[in-house]
């Protein structure tokens, strides 16, 4: 039955074919009399044993095809070879001993993945009776690319940290920015580890990195002649963080200016009341930490006396932990001006307000609007002798109002108040905006001017860091390289 049939790939002889409505099962054997040892390349005809192996093959006549063959194990005939027993390599699988499909099927899978990608390729493969998943399609494409790619010594590298286990253990990922591939994963973020790795690779000429002190030290000592490029995303994020820190340091004045100096517990919900109680406890701790710092006590000693971490102590000394309530995104914020106007005009029914904002595009439920109306009534009915009470906007919320939401009507009044009372904070905001544009439009000539203008502003701490790493910042404005690839290429 096998004579004249060419279903089996090269190097196999068909012994029997079994068929059913959905599948063809081909029983075959290898035609080779000998096999070559993969270790010493010696030829052997000493058969040790046999085992059954199954290979998926190209479909035939509307049915999937499986080749089942007895594969032989051979004894190596050379006594000096350390490989005593080996499995014969088959031409049908391109001499790969562990694959479960023929080379011609693997070639079709590679082209499907290359042309269509994951999900579309999987869908077409199913129609073609080729049983592969989207993961297999992409894996075969990557393997084919790696097989035909010439690996050159790295010249332009990106360095960033990544998590072996988020929040517990971090390492360092090193990426070849020219060949778009991961070069190595280091076990930790220590400067000494990266320094040794860089020192062993003299071909590296450019190192793109974030502004962490450990990576700066490693790059400077490991490859002192290489050009260091500060990552542009980190620069912009650091500028935003510096402005947020300036807002946090100004929160006491901001609460007074915005007329939210006190919080009336009667107006708070149960969740807000619990947050307020925790804030009171934090304020006591903050007072102790600030008093010790005022006495000249070192951060390490403050941490030992208070039982808090050095990171938390630094956070307090920089103006952090001052927000009473957690900052949350409110789905009503885009409609705040409309609600305020309707409330002032006399429409104070929750259902009626909900219908108005729903017509304007609000997608939330009725309860969200009725709770807002309830809070408005509480504030109107509560008599306070001092300034108006209620939850003050958080530092993060105020920073957002002054930047991305400054043109919105709901934020315009607050921003105008801050501009009159705290012009230094508005100056810091404008300096941050200018720095972002400087990075986005790559203007190295404007960096010196910006630094001289920003030195005496609320961003002074950020400016000192820029000055200490100015060569890398200048390179970021001139060079095309960035750390986007290491962050996006992190395995996970």
> 414-431: per-residue pLDDT in tens?
888 888 888 999 999 999
Q: Which of these three, 325, 351, 366, is where a domain ends?
A: 325
Is the residue at 32 inside a domain?
A: yes
Q: So what's the pLDDT on residue 238?
A: 92
Q: How high is the pLDDT of residue 5?
A: 46
- Token pair for 300: 């390490």
Residue 9 lies in a domain: yes
**Does 26 reside within a domain?**
yes
Structure confidence at residue 420 (pLDDT):
87
Chain centroid to CA 338: how far? Answer: 37
The last residue of one of the domains, among 79, 100, 121, is 100
Which tokens sit at 184?
Answer: 């190595």
- The 10s digit of each residue's pLDDT in 350-383 is 889 999 999 988 888 888 888 888 877 876 665 4
Low-confidence residues in the chain, pLDDT < 50: 1-5, 383-389, 490-492
> pTM higher than 0.85, yes or no?
no
Q: Residue 128 in 3-state DSSP? A: coil
Residue 437 covered by a domain: no
Residue 152 covered by a domain: no
Dihedral sign (CA 375, 376, 380, 384): positive
3-state helix, strand, coil in the chain (%, to 5): 50, 15, 35
Q: From CA 213, how far away is CA 65, in angstroms rounded?
A: 59
What pLDDT, on a 0 to 100 scale, did the predictor assign at position 2?
A: 43
Residue identified by tokens 């076990």 is 187
- Residue with token string 């479960």: 100
Q: Which domain holds residue 299?
A: 269-325
Q: What is the DSSP letter of 230?
A: E
Provide the number of structural domains found in the chain.
2
Residue 20 counted as domain residue:
yes
- Domain C-terminal end among 33, 66, 100: 100
418 within a domain of the structure (yes/no): no
Contacts for 6-13: CB closer than 8 Å, 24+ residues apart? 7/57, 7/60, 7/65, 8/67, 8/92, 9/57, 9/67, 9/91, 9/92, 9/102, 9/103, 9/104, 10/91, 10/92, 11/90, 11/91, 11/92, 12/67, 12/69, 12/90, 12/92
The answer as to whether 86 is a domain residue is yes
Give pLDDT, residue 384.
Answer: 46
Closest CA to 363 of 334, 342, 338: 334
Please measure the distance between the N-terminal and C-terminal CA atoms of the chain and give it in whole angstroms.
51
Q: What is the pLDDT of residue 454?
A: 92
């Amino acid at each position: 039955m096998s004579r004249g049939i060419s279903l089996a790939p090269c190097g196999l002889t068909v012994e029997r074919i079994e068929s059913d409505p959905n599948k063809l099962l081909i029983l075959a054997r290898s035609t080779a009399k000998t096999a070559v040892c993969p270790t010493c390349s010696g030829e052997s005809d000493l058969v040790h044993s046999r085992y059954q192996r199954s290979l998926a093959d190209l479909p035939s006549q509307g049915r999937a095809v499986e080749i089942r063959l007895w594969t032989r194990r051979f004894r190596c005939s050379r006594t000096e070879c350390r490989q005593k027993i080996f499995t014969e390599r088959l031409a049908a699988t391109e001499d790969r001993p562990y694959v479960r499909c023929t080379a011609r099927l693997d070639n079709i899978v590679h082209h499907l993945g290359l042309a269509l990608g994951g999900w579309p390729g999987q869908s077409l493969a199913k129609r073609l009776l080729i049983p592969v998943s989207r993961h297999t399609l992409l894996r075969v494409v990557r393997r084919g690319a790696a097989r035909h790619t010439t690996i050159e010594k790295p010249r332009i590298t990106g360095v960033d940290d990544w998590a072996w286990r988020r929040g517990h253990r971090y390492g360092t990922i090193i990426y070849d920015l020219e060949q778009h591939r991961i070069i190595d994963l280091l076990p930790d973020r220590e400067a000494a580890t990266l320094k040794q790795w860089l020192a062993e690779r003299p071909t590296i000429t450019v190192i793109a990195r974030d502004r962490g002190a450990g990576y700066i030290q490693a790059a400077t000592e490991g490859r002192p002649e290489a050009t260091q490029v500060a990552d542009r995303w980190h620069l912009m994020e650091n500028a935003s963080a510096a402005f947020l820190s300036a807002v946090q340091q100004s929160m006491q004045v901001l609460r007074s200016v915005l007329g939210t100096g006190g919080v009336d517990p009667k107006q708070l919900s149960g969740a807000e009341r619990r947050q307020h109680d925790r804030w009171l406890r934090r304020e006591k701790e903050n007072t102790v930490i600030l008093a010790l710092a005022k006495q000249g006590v070192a951060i390490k000693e403050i941490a030992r006396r208070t039982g808090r971490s050095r990171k938390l102590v630094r956070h307090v000394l920089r103006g952090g932990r001052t927000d009473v309530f957690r900052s949350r995104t409110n789905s009503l914020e885009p409609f705040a001006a409309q609600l305020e106007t309707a409330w002032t005009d006399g429409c104070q029914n929750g259902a009626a307000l909900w219908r108005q904002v729903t017509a304007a595009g609000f997608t939330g439920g009725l309860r969200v609007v009725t709770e807002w109306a309830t809070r408005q009534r509480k504030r109107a009915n509560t008599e306070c002798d001092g300034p108006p009470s209620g939850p003050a906007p958080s530092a993060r919320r105020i920073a957002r109002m002054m930047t991305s939401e400054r043109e919105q009507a709901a934020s315009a009044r607050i921003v105008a108040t801050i501009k009159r009372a705290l012009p230094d904070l508005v100056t810091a905001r404008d300096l941050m905006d200018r720095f972002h544009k400087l990075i986005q439009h790559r203007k190295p000539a404007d960096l010196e001017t910006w630094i001289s203008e920003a030195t005496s502003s609320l961003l002074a701490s950020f400016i000192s860091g820029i000055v200490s790493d100015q060569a890398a910042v200048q390179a970021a404005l001139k060079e095309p390289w960035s750390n986007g690839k290491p962050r996006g290429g992190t395995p996970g």
